[in-house]
Chains A and B, each alone.
Chain A
Amino acid sequence: MRLGVLFSGGKDSTLALHKAAEKAEVACLITLVSENNESYMFHTPNIDVTAMQAEALDLPLVRQKTEGKPEAELADLDTAIAQAIKSFQIDGVVTGAVESVYQAARIQRICNRLGVWCVNPLWKRNQKALLEETVIAGFQTVISGVFAYPLDKKWLGKQIDEDLIGKLVALGEEYGLSPSGEGGEIETTVLDAPLFKKKIVVLDAAVEAQGNSGVFRIKQARLAEK
Chain B
Amino acid sequence: MILVVDMNSKENPFGFPEFVQPIVAIAEPLEKCHVKHYLEVNEKSLSGYDKIILSGSALKDTTTLDQTAQFTWLKDCGKPVLGICAGMQTIGLVFGGHITQCREIGMTEVETSKANPLFSSTFKVYALHNYALAPSIEFEVLAESASCVHAVKHKQEDVYGVLFHPEVRNREVIERFVEAV
Contacts and interface: CB of A to CB of B under 8 A. Distances in A.
A23 B167 CA distance: 24
Contacts of A101: 106-107, 126, 168-169
A165 to B, nearest CB: 20
A120 B60 contact: no
Contacts of A118: 58-60
Nearest to B25: A124
Contacts of A123: 17-18, 22
A101 B128 CA distance: 11
Given A101-B106, A121-B18, A123-B18, A108 B168 contact: no
A119 B18 contact: yes
A127 to B, nearest CB: 13
Contacts of A19: 17
Interface in B114-135: 126, 128, 130
Nearest to A119: B14
Interface of B is mostly: mixed
Interface residues of B, number: 22
Interface stretch (A43-51, A109-117, A151-159, A178-186): A109-117
A124 B20 CA distance: 11
Chain A interface residue bracket vs B = 20 to 34
Interface in A91-129: 101, 105-106, 108-109, 111-112, 115-121, 123-126
B105 A108 contact: yes
B12 interface: yes
B60 A117 contact: yes
Contacts of A121: 14, 17-18
A105 B58 contact: no
A105 B124 CA distance: 14
B112 interface: no
A70 B128 CA distance: 21
A124 B106 contact: no
15 contacts: A23-B13, A101-B106, A101-B126, A101-B168, A105-B107, A105-B126, A108-B105, A115-B60, A117-B14, A118-B58, A119-B12, A121-B14, A121-B17, A123-B22, A125-B17
Interface of B: 11-14, 17-18, 21-22, 25, 58-60, 103, 105-107, 126, 128, 130, 167-169
